[in-house]
Amino acid sequence: MCGRYSVTHEDWSILDSWGIEVVREDSFAFSARYNMAPTQQAPVLYTTALKSPVSLGLFTWGLLPDTAYATINARAETLAQRPTFRPLLRNHRCLIPADGFYEWGKGRSPKVPHYIHMQNSAPFLMAGLHTRRTHPKTGAILRTFTIITTAANELMKNIPHDRMPAILDQATARHWLDPSTGVADALSLLQPYPAQMMQAHLVSAAVNNWRHDTPDCILPAERNT
């Protein structure tokens, strides 16, 4: 699962070289986050009916459909069978910029938080779905998203953890966003990211508290509990 992550890059012009032209919404404002948590506002890349450019806007983490409670993750394997997610697969795919995420190793008590990131510290994109819902009373439009998870790669299994976010690379990211990509093709892009490209290390349990959102969240820590 992916229930906490970091977004410290504020410049996403690197995506130009990925073939993704990003345009920020007028109201887009964001500064580095080291401990992004569910229910908070996070940057999301999405497309509308037409292809490029891709928009960058703030969405609330936790997909809130018209008739269900919020979900922060969606399993790639069963996406097409879930009533909540299936309608969103064709026109509501999105990508969530990140540069690392946290997982708490299972089995140990207390659970030990790990930070997982690319070996070269490069930013990456997680696959997601988004939706839009009008508040029944205020009429305000609430935009929410969920992060798609897939099977763990070897790096994640060592933590140990069974799931990881579906990360898309340079070759597949723009296909996921492209409205002309069919549902079956889009689903085929959701695979575990190669473990050899990634790295993980222990971090301080201070990250457990979402209020702790500072650069030291991602620093390596000794096992001392």
Residues that bind DNA (CB under 7 A): 1, 3-4, 37-40, 62, 65-69, 71-75, 78-79, 82-87, 103-104, 106-107, 111, 113, 149, 161-163, 205, 208-210
Closest approach of DNA to the CB of residue 106, in Å:
3
CB of 50 to DNA, least distance (A): 19
Give, as one character, the DSSP assignment of residue 89: T
Question: Is 103 a catalytic site residue?
Answer: yes
* Separation of alpha carbons 179 and 48, rounded Å: 8
Which one from 103, 154, 217, 222 is the annotated catalytic residue?
103
Three-state SS sequence of 132-150: EEECCCCCCEEEEEEEEEE
Identify whether the C-beta of residue 168 lies closer than 8 Å to the C-beta of residue 40.
no
Q: How far is the CB of 57 from DNA (least distance, A)?
A: 19
Which residue is catalytic, options 2, 21, 77, 94?
A: 2
222 is catalytic: no
State the Cα–Cα distance between residues 142 and 81, nearest whole angstrom.
25
In the block, residue with structure tokens 């992550």: 5
Positions marked catalytic: 2, 103
